[in-house]
Amino acid sequence: MSETVLTTANLTCNFGALNAVDSVSLEFLRGEIHAIIGPNGAGKTTLINLLSGDLPPTAGQIHFKDKDITRFTSDQVSRAGIGRSYQKTNIFPQFTCFENCWTGAQSREPSSMRFFRPARNLTKVNERTEKALELCGLTHRRGTVASAMSYGEQRQLEIGMMLATEPELLLLDEPLAGMGVEESQQVIGLLRGLALKHTLILIEHDMDAVFSIAEKLTVMENGRVLESGTVEEIRASKAVQEAYLGDGQDE
Amino acid sequence: MVVPRPVLVFLLLGFAGLTVFPWVGESFYIELVMRMMIFGIFAMSLDLLIGFTGLVSFGHAAFFGLAGYLLAIVTPESGPVSIWLALPVCLLGVALAALVIGWFSVRTSGIYFIMITLAFAQMLFYFFNENSALGGSDGIFIFYKPTIAVAGSTLLDLDSRFTFYYFVLSSLVASYLLLRILLSSPFGQVIRGIRANEARTRALGFATFRYKLVSFIIAGTLAGYAGFLEGVHGGIMSPAHLGWHESGLVMMMVILGGMGTLYGPVLGAFAMVYLQDWFQDITEHWLLLMGGFVIAVVLFLPHGIAGLVHQISSLLSRAKGGAPDHE
């Protein structure tokens, strides 16, 4: 019933002799929450970097909807409808919270090569910004300079900026990294809400969170896909149990 | 982006001072203030790159000098040229040069951007330095100031010192306002994003190369306008106007004045031009004094002269009875 929205075919990225991502072929379905897990160095972030255009692949293809986006740069990927948030907080530190989201929202205008009209007069951008602030729960912090906000709030802002670009598909690199229990719950709630309308691909180390929200899982190891399937399939997989989840005896 | 009210008051006072100056100042100082204002425009144009786009250009004088040379080339020895011809030639020529130089430079960043802009500027320097048809290292005279006439009747006579003074002052104010408008436009938002975090700006969907290139062209063209005024004012263009000394001087004006503030670099230009003149009067080793001044400002005024103005004006407004220092 659901269509494939993003596919990778033999996607490969080498750094010298290291195969950071090695012949990864995956399908992501519309409206799904798909988590990518695996030990450190498994190639998860590199895979996200390939999908978002932050890194060019060495070989293989990426298709988003009907488009071949293999050679797209990050700005083209963003305009095609794929948003991304970063593992290391990647915001505009000296901008206010509002301006951070505004910059994302303004990128959906046909062109920003407009020189004489005040930016703040763009009512649609304003609406998108307000919506993004509301979604990420930072409306009350709108006037605060981003560098003065708490770490957790900066993480929320990271997601807010991405949402301001109104993406169809979200790439989230450890959205819960370094968050407290309460903040994590808040963000998990946000991700669940987003999943109603968006496709989500996320990397996460918090296994409780992964199993509570993901519908599909891909387990990576040494740049390769070890297993990919529904949560139940992954739980049942011998290979995964041996390699990553432990033997299952300790619970 | 909002200029705090006390600073606005300071700027308006400064503007008022400049407006009445030709009536009270000696002619030597009127000439000096014109030079300050011309360099103020030049420094503001560089602030668009350094302070707002995050591009530290070390070859900005190339555009300043090139426009002056273009003016010299279109001004015949027999009489003045019309400004309706001279100004478009100068600005379009400089914009084209900025397009070409920017096309190559803007791909690089950091130290490489500094090197490549410097290299381009030095190429132009040597072109004019070695070109005997254009006066070589001695430079070239601009014998007549351009005429500003409509349908045969003179609109403004730039030969009159008064008129030219106000022409330069209006240019300074117009450049400031133009850049303010530009910076609050959608384009301004993008270049400020590039300065703050270029990779993120790109990831949000902006093809940053294009925006940096356009910013480079605008800054170059405005520097060219300042160079045009310098040519009209000084009546001579020499290769020194394009050299790395000149690029370094204007960069110091921006940094000492306070980058990313627009008015700061204007204050920096005023301070540097004035001190240059004053120190030269005191001693032939004036560069030592200038060096000391630069070190003192960098050490004690991390946000430049603009930072000092900001502090003083907020102190004053607080002393007056707690008026809010931000709108």
What is the pLDDT at residue A186?
Answer: 86
What integer best gives the mean pLDDT of chain B? 93
Residue B324 lies in a domain: no
Task: CATH number of the domain at B288, please.
Answer: 1.10.3470
Three-class DSSP category at A134: helix
User: Are B186 and A107 inside 8 Å of each other by CB?
Assistant: no
What are the chain B neighbours of A124 within 8 Å (beta carbons)?
Answer: none
Whether the CB-CB separation of A36 and A202 falls below 8 Å is answered with yes
Neighbours of A218 (CB within 10 A): 23
Residue B127 lies in a domain: yes
Rg, C-alpha atoms of chain B: 20
Task: Give the residue numbers spanning the domain of B71.
Answer: 5-319
What is the pLDDT at residue B287?
Answer: 87
Whether the CB-CB separation of A228 and A218 falls below 8 Å is answered with yes
Element at A196 (helix H, strand E): none
Mean pLDDT (10-residue bins), chain A, 251 residues = 88 92 94 92 94 95 95 96 93 96 96 93 95 93 94 91 96 89 87 91 90 92 92 86 60 40
Residue B106 lies in a domain: yes
* Domains of chain B: total: 1
Residue B275 lies in a domain: yes
ipTM for this model: 0.91
User: Are A120 and B184 inside 8 Å of each other by CB?
Assistant: yes
* Nearest-angstrom CA–CA distance, A211 and A213: 6
Pairing of strands A59-64, A4-15: antiparallel
Surface of B (203-222) touching A: CB under 8 A: 203-208, 210-211, 214
Surface of A (218-247) touching B: CB under 8 A: none
- Residue carrying structure tokens 């014109």: B34
What is the pLDDT at residue A244?
Answer: 64
Residue B327 lies in a domain: no
For residue A247, the 8-state DSSP code is: -
Longest Cα–Cα distance of chain B, Å, equals 65
Higher pLDDT, B317 or A196: A196
- The pLDDT tens digits of the residues spanning B104-120 come to 999 999 999 999 999 99
What are phi and psi for residue A217, nearest 5 degrees?
-130, 140
The whole-model pTM stands at: 0.93
* Nearest-angstrom CA–CA distance, B73 and A146: 51
- The pLDDT tens digits of the residues spanning B123-181 come to 999 999 999 999 999 999 999 999 998 888 888 899 999 999 999 999 999 999 999 99
* B207–chain A nearest CA distance, Å: 6
Residue B325 lies in a domain: no
Please give the angle made by the CA atoms of A14, A18 and A19, to the nearest 5 degrees: 55
- Provide CB contacts within 8 A for B257, sequence distance 6+: B43, B264, B265, B266, B267, B268, B269, B271, B304, B305, B306
Q: Where residue B319 falls among pLDDT bands split at 50, 70, 90?
A: confident
Three-class DSSP category at A217: strand
What are the chain B neighbours of A115 within 8 Å (beta carbons)?
Answer: 181-182, 185, 187
- The pLDDT tens digits of the residues spanning B183-242 come to 999 999 999 999 999 999 999 999 999 999 999 999 999 999 999 999 999 999 999 999
User: Are B187 and A114 inside 8 Å of each other by CB?
Assistant: yes
Residue B307 lies in a domain: yes
The DSSP result for A22-33, as a single string, is EEEEEEEETT-E
What are the chain B neighbours of A93 within 8 Å (beta carbons)?
Answer: 196-197
Residue B326 lies in a domain: no
- Provide CB contacts within 8 A for B218, sequence distance 6+: B45, B48, B182
- Provide CB contacts within 8 A for A14, sequence distance 6+: A20, A58
Chain centroid, CA A25 distance in Å: 18
What is the pLDDT at residue A23?
Answer: 94
What is the pLDDT at residue A250?
Answer: 45
Provide the residue type at B58 as one letter.
F
- Residue carrying structure tokens 């133009």: B178
What are the chain B neighbours of A76 within 8 Å (beta carbons)?
Answer: 207
* Nearest-angstrom CA–CA distance, A20 and A44: 9
Domains of chain A in start order, with CATH, are 1-81+167-251 (3.40.50.300), 90-166 (no CATH)
* Nearest-angstrom CA–CA distance, A25 and A143: 44
Q: What percent of chain B has pLDDT over 90?
A: 81
